[in-house]
């Protein structure tokens, strides 16, 4: 949604004459009654928006995609829905693609986007919350040469069985306030995130990092 001035809705925005941009779902779902469920979104300097989300009929969020909304509120049909690449060479934590932050690297669409999300690992009965960072081109392909197929992690997966154990994580972890914040500053990727250890003895240690 966009306003021309305080209190006035810009009815030229979007494709229905009502000032609202619609984000169509994938597959055969009716775009008039369903919408892609968006997690993070980032705006470029030209007013267009990069988005990341999943279909409303995908409760496990198994098929996440990137898409783009043009500056006039029309969905970018040429870009369409772009599945996140999962061609990493090394093992990844379960749900490594669960991004909750997205920003353009410079504000210019051609310079691509950065993404970040929380990842959880367990070693024995200890659970660790760490950060995952992705970098993608303007067409949402993995940025050439960046980490492993566009994905960088701060903690290696020690064994193929390492995975996320949601039942051992506090519900507070899912709140927006704990979502990572990221940007490109002075040519470096800067991320503020919370690292957490849920130990087997029930204690929880949290540390913010930047």
pLDDT (0 to 100) of residue 200? 78
pLDDT tens for each residue of 53-76: 999 899 888 899 999 989 888 999
The Cα–Cα gap between 149 and 127 comes to 25
- List Cβ neighbours of 81 (8 Å cut-off, separation of 6 or more): 26, 36, 65, 66, 67
What pLDDT, on the 0 to 100 scale, is given for residue 3? 54
Do the beta carbons of residue 52 and residue 102 sit within 8 Å? Answer: yes
52-56, 90-94, 168-172: range with lowest mean pLDDT: 168-172
How large is the average pLDDT for residues 171-197?
A: 51
Tell me the CA end-to-end span of the chain in Å, nearest whole number.
Answer: 32
Characterize the bridge pairing of strands 65-69 and 8-9.
Answer: unpaired
| pLDDT 10s digits, 29-54 | 888 888 888 888 888 888 888 989 99
The CA distance from 147 to 190, in Å, is: 15
What confidence category does residue 139 fall into, taking pLDDT thresholds of 50, 70 and 90? very high
> Would you state the pLDDT for residue 180?
57
Confidence (pLDDT) at 190: 52
Quick one: pLDDT at residue 108?
82
> How far apart are the C-alpha atoms of 135 and 143, rounded to whole Å?
6
Instruction: Tell whether the model's pLDDT for residue 158 goes beyond 70.
Output: no
The answer to whether residue 209 scores a pLDDT higher than 70 is no
């Amino acid at each position: 949604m966009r306003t021309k001035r305080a209190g006035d809705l810009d009815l030229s925005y979007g494709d229905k004459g009502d000032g609202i941009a619609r984000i169509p779902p994938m597959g055969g779902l009716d775009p008039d009654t369903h919408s892609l469920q968006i997690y993070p979104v980032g705006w470029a300097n030209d007013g267009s928006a990069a988005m990341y989300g999943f279909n409303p009929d995908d409760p496990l969020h198994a098929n996440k995609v990137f898409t783009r909304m043009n500056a006039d509120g029309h969905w970018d049909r040429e870009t369409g829905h772009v599945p996140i690449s999962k061609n990493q060479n090394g093992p990844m934590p379960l749900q490594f693609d669960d991004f909750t932050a997205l920003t353009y690297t410079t504000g210019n669409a051609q310079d691509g986007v950065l993404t970040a999300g929380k990842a959880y690992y367990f070693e024995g009965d200890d659970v660790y919350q760490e950060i995952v960072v992705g970098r993608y081109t303007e067409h949402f392909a993995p940025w050439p040469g960046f980490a492993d197929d566009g994905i960088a992690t701060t903690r290696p997966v020690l064994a193929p069985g390492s995975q996320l154990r949601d039942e051992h994580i506090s519900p507070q972890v899912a709140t927006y306030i704990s979502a990572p914040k990221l940007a490109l500053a002075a040519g470096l990727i800067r991320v503020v995130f919370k690292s957490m250890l849920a130990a087997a003895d029930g204690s929880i240690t949290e540390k913010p990092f930047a």
